Chain A
Amino acid sequence: QKEVEQNSGPLSVPEGAIASLNCTYSDRGSQSFFWYRQYSGKSPELIMSIYSNGDKEDGRFTAQLNKASQYVSLLIRDSQPSDSATYLCAVVVAGAGSYQLTFGKGTKLSVIP
C-alpha cells in the first residue's frame, strides 16, 4: 500500500505567523508532489507543485522536498485568516494500471485573527 501521511491537525497559528505543514510518503520512486488547498465544502485547489529536491517559492508559499527522507512540506508565511482550510499533500505513485495522484487525509489549518 503506497501511502501519503499527514498530521490531521487542527493546526492553529496566529495571524502573521508562519504555518508549517508536513507530509511523508512511502513510494521511494515518486517524482511529482503537489499541495492542494480545500475549503470546507469546496473542491481541492492546486497551490504548489514541486519535482526537485530543495525549496520552491511562490508568493507567501514555499514548498520543500527531500526525496532521501521522503518528506515534503509547505510553509505559509504571514498567515491570513483566509488561509484557514484543509491542506492536502498529493504524490504521484505508480498504481495498478497508471500513475495515480495519491492524497493524504489533509491537515486542517486555522489562522487566528
Chain B
Amino acid sequence: NAGVMQNPRHLVRRRGQEARLRCSPMKGHSHVYWYRQLPEEGLKFMVYLQKENIIDESGMPKERFSAEFPKEGPSILRIQQVVRGDSAAYFCASSPAGSTNEKLFFGSGTQLSVL
C-alpha cells in the first residue's frame, strides 16, 4: 500500500525557469495539501485541493505559483520564473476527506534548489 508519492525528490532550477512538482496521494485519499518548509522554519500551508477543485489557496503567493489536481493523474504544484527565495522543501500531504479530525500523511517532499 503505497504512501504519498512525490517526485522529483530533488529539483535544481536556474532563476527564471519553471518548476513542476508532482504528488500522488495515498490510495483512497481524495484531498491533497501542499506545504512549504524553509530551513529552520515550520511547515507553511500553501493550498488545499480536491479532484478538479481548489478549495483553499490562501497560503499560496498570488503570482508565479499555481496548483492543480486533475481528474486523472497527480497533483501538480507549478512555480513559474523561479527566484532564489523559492528554494525550499515542498511537501504534499493527503487525507481521505477534509474534516477537522483528519490526519494528514506526508510524502517525502521535493527539495527545490534555485541557482
Q: Convert A51-95 into 0s and 1s, putting 1 for each residue whose CB lies closer than 8 angstroms to a CB of B.
A: 100000000000000000000000000000000000010001001
Place the interface of chain A in its size category: 20 to 34
* B91: Cβ under 8 A from any A Cβ: yes
Contact A34 B58 (CB under 8 A): no
Contact A100 B59 (CB under 8 A): yes
Total chain B interface residues with beta-carbon distance under 8 A = 27
How many contacting A-B pairs (Cβ < 8 A)? 63
* A7: Cβ under 8 A from any B Cβ: no
Please pick, from B41, B55, B93, B101, the residue contacting A105 in the complex, using a CB distance under 8 A. Answer: B41
Please pick, from A49, A95, A101, A104, the residue contacting B58 in the complex, using a CB distance under 8 A. Answer: A95
Q: Convert A17-53 into 0s and 1s, putting 1 for each residue whose CB lies closer than 8 angstroms to a CB of B.
A: 0000000000000011010000000111110010100
* A102: Cβ under 8 A from any B Cβ: yes
* B28: Cβ under 8 A from any A Cβ: no
* B108: Cβ under 8 A from any A Cβ: yes
